[in-house]
Structure formats: structure tokens, C-alpha cells
């Protein structure tokens, strides 16, 4: 059986330092990994940067006030209408399509309630144009020219102006009827647009209306809309999100308006308050 014991080194030990290895910078060092991480992050995040920017712009109250101020400074009726529509987005409104007994003229549902048509009516009324009165006067004289979808035997000043199809017919008679294209060049700030919603069970319930306004902040050159599709007045990039069925420009700058000769009959209305 072997008896192995450790043996001490006898003699002078070699105390010379081991030769140093030259250190060369590694290509895969920390700087490269940092740059690679930033590049990968930029590549994957770049597509959502515009979305994040638009969300920031949309939520900015400062951008909204700036847009309203610029529009109100114009002498154009259409831009003042767009400003009035944007101001509506500062209001909290519960979506309520219910029937109300309204005063006439100048009647309105409770200020914290309303639908898409109420937004349009209130925006025009800010500029002294009472669509309740104008629609009722025209329907009183030409009731059969308006959609016959609600089993009514005559006009009703409580509800007629709150229906999209009635406003659409009124604007087609007294405003400019424009292209319903998908070209932004065909739309101007202050235009009124009507849509057909994909989930409407009937013709009247699938109709929607809003006002064209500029986009927010750096996107002010774009065409957005103010509308109420269920969550109150909103400022959104949704002009082409639904099927456009009507495009109108209604700016009554005179005291009287005459219905287009292309319609079934002519009528003259007063825009005086």
C-alpha cells in the first residue's frame, strides 16, 4: 500500500511574475451591446411612435384651446363652426336619444344629454343659426320631401331636427352637396358629414353625423371630425372610418336661404334669430 505524503519544495522558488497578456478591445464589448439594444428598440418602436404622438396630441387640452383660438380668429363662418364644434368636446354629455318636449324656437334637451345631431345643432346655434327652427319651417311647408320613417303625419319641432336623415335632407336642400370621396382634398374645415354605420339595425339607427375640424398640434393640417358616437363629443381622426353617405357645406351668411332648384320644390327660409 502506497503511503503518499505531500513533499515540500526544496530550493529557491520561481518568484518571477507571469508574463502579462496584452488586452485588446473586444468587438462584443459593452458599447456594442448598448448600440445593438438601442437599434433593436428603435426598429420595433418606430411604427408606434406616430400613434403615441397622436395620442399625446389628442389628449392635449393646450392643443385644443390653441386650435379653437385660431379658428375663432377667422372671419369665415365654416371655421367658426369648427371652433364651436371643438368647444363641445369640453362638455360631458350622456348619450340619450330619448324624446323630450322642447321649447320652440331655441329648444334643447338637457345640456348633459344628447346625441350626434344635438352636437351639430348646438354648434350651429352658437353662431346664431337655429336648426330646430329652420328644419321645422321647411318641414311644415314640404313635409313629404323629408324621410317618412317614423309614422308621423306632420312635423314635430321636438324631434325632427334631432334626426340625422332630416338634417341630411335639409342640408341637401339649402347647402352645398359635395363629393363623398376618400380624398382629403375634397373636405374642408366646417363641412358636415353623414355616415352609415356598419352596425345599424335600421336605416335611421345606422345614421351618424359630425363636423370636419383640423387635427391637433403638429397634425393640424389633417382633417379630423368632432362627433358623438356614444361617449359624448369627441375630437377624433375618424373621417373615413365609416361609410360616408352625405357631405355638405352649410354656411347661411345671408338673412334668407333658397332651396336648391335641383330638389323637388323651392322654399325660402329666414335665418334671422
Per-residue pLDDT reduced to its tens digit, 51-69: 555 554 554 789 999 999 9
What per-residue confidence (pLDDT) applies to 58?
A: 55
Tell me which residue of 239, 156, 168, 153 sits closest to 203, measured CA to CA. 168
| Exposure letters 77-108 (e unless 16+ CB within 10 A, then b) | bbbbbbbbbbbbbeeebeeeeeeeebeeeebb
Euclidean distance between CA atoms 125 and 131, whole angstroms: 7
To which H or E segment does residue 83 belong? helix 77-88
Tell whether 3 is covered by a domain. no
What per-residue confidence (pLDDT) applies to 268?
A: 59
Distances (CA, A) of 100 to 16, 49, 96, 230: 103, 45, 10, 18
Q: How confident is the model at residue 4 (pLDDT cuts 50, 70, 90)?
A: low
Tell whether 38 is covered by a domain. no
Q: How far is CA 67 from the centre of its chain?
A: 14
Tell whether 24 is covered by a domain. no
Instruction: Note the pTM of the prediction, 2 decimals.
Output: 0.76
Tell whether 235 is covered by a domain. yes
Tell whether 30 is covered by a domain. no
What per-residue confidence (pLDDT) applies to 266?
A: 53
Mean pLDDT of the chain: 84
Tell whether 19 is covered by a domain. no
The domain that holds 191 is classified in CATH as 3.90.1720.10
Containing domain of residue 188, as a range?
A: 48-270
The total number of structural domains that make up the chain: 1
Q: At what angle do helices 77-88 and 61-72 cross, to 10 degrees?
A: 150
Tell whether 6 is covered by a domain. no
Tell whether 37 is covered by a domain. no
Euclidean distance between CA atoms 273 and 270, whole angstroms: 8
**pLDDT over threshold 50, residue 9:** no
Amino acid at each position: 500500500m502506497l503511503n503518499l505524503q505531500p513533499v515540500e519544495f526544496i530550493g529557491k522558488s520561481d518568484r518571477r511574475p507571469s508574463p502579462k497578456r496584452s488586452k485588446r478591445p473586444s468587438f462584443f464589448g459593452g458599447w456594442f451591446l448598448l448600440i445593438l439594444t438601442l437599434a433593436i428598440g428603435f426598429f420595433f418602436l418606430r411604427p408606434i411612435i406616430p400613434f403615441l404622438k397622436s395620442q399625446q396630441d389628442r389628449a392635449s387640452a393646450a392643443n385644443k384651446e390653441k386650435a379653437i383660438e385660431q379658428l375663432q380668429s377667422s372671419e369665415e363662418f365654416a371655421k367658426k363652426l369648427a371652433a364651436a364644434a371643438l368647444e363641445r368636446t369640453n362638455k360631458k354629455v350622456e348619450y340619450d336619444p330619448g324624446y323630450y318636449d322642447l321649447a320652440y324656437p331655441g329648444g334643447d334637451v338637457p345640456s348633459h344629454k344628447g346625441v350626434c345631431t344635438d352636437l351639430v345643432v348646438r354648434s350651429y346655434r352658437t353662431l346664431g343659426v337655429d336648426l330646430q327652427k329652420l328644419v321645422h319651417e321647411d318641414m311644415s311647408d314640404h313635409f313629404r320631401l323629408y324621410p317618412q320613417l317614423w309614422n308621423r303625419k306632420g312635423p314635430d319641432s321636438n324631434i325632427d331636427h334631432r334626426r340625422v336623415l332630416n338634417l341630411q335632407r335639409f342640408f341637401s336642400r339649402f347647402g352645398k352637396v359635395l363629393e363623398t370621396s376618400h380624398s382629403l382634398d375634397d373636405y374642408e374645415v366646417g363641412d358636415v358629414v353623414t355616415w352609415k354605420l356598419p352596425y345599424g339595425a335600421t336605416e335611421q339607427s345606422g345614421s351618424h353625423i359630425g363636423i370636419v375640424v383640423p387635427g391637433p398640434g403638429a397634425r393640424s393640417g389633417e382633417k379630423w371630425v368632432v362627433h358623438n358616437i356614444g361617449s359624448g363629443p369627441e375630437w377624433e381622426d375618424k373621417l373615413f372610418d365609416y361609410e360616408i353617405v352625405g357631405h355638405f357645406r352649410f354656411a347661411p351668411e345671408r338673412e334668407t336661404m333658397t332651396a336648391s332648384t335641383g330638389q323637388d320644390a323651392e322654399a325660402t327660409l329666414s335665418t334671422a334669430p
